[in-house]
Amino acid sequence: MSHTLPTHVGVVMDGNRRWAKKAGFASPGAGHDVGAAHVEDLLEWCTRWRIDHLTSYVLSADNIRKRPKSQVEHLFGILTEKLPRTVVRSGRWALHVSGDLSLLPDDAADALRGAERETADRPAHLTMAIGYDPHGDIVEGIRRALAAGATEIDEQAITAALPGGPVKEIDLVIRTSGEQRLSGFFPWQTAHAEIVVSEKLWPDFTAADFANALELYAARQVGDVAG
């Protein structure tokens, strides 16, 4: 593996429903369950390659409003029972949530906030987009900057006020399922990011695929320097 690694990786974990259909499950919830369990693997990969800043797209505000009620309720269960425990159990990752938790049931919001508190002093930082709206993210950053007494609302003030860990700028975005779009994934933080699209559905995405994305990123950095 090249020494030119990203500091901060973003992952759009797409393809869970298609995976469930392809695998013959009647409910897309099976794909979401497997996809949620796969987050533990992702944390291990980042630890292996000494990546201490990770952002993942879990659930957008639009998905909460537009998907069938049964699907959304299943996702709320994952947010209550599974993902917070995965982060706490890791022993290494501090959880940060970016999004509108008022869109979630109280038990899901409480579980996520509890995991944030329990993991606050850890050395690595995981930001999860939950109830996330890209425009709302930037607006909230401006509001926080103003509330903090910023005398000048510039790029640095807004960036510092955005939710998430201490390193906000995302260097590499990996999107699974072959879709050639970012779907509103942290537009402020990904302004200078490299993008790698994998044809694999998220539950099928492997450590080798992750390593390949890191190699592609490193090759592009070498190319930029050479150019």
Catalytic positions, written as ranges: 14, 63
Question: What is the side-by-side order of every strand in the sheet holding 172-175?
Answer: 93-98, 124-132, 53-60, 8-12, 172-175, 194-197
Q: In the numeric block, which tokens belong to residue 198?
A: 């994998």
Contacts of 54 (CB under 8 A, 6+ apart): 8, 9, 10, 11, 42, 43, 46, 93, 124, 125, 126, 127
Residue 102 to residue 112: CA distance in whole angstroms? 12
Name the phi and psi angles at 166, rounded to 5.
-70, -25
The alpha helices in 122-182, defined as continuous H runs, are 134-147, 155-161
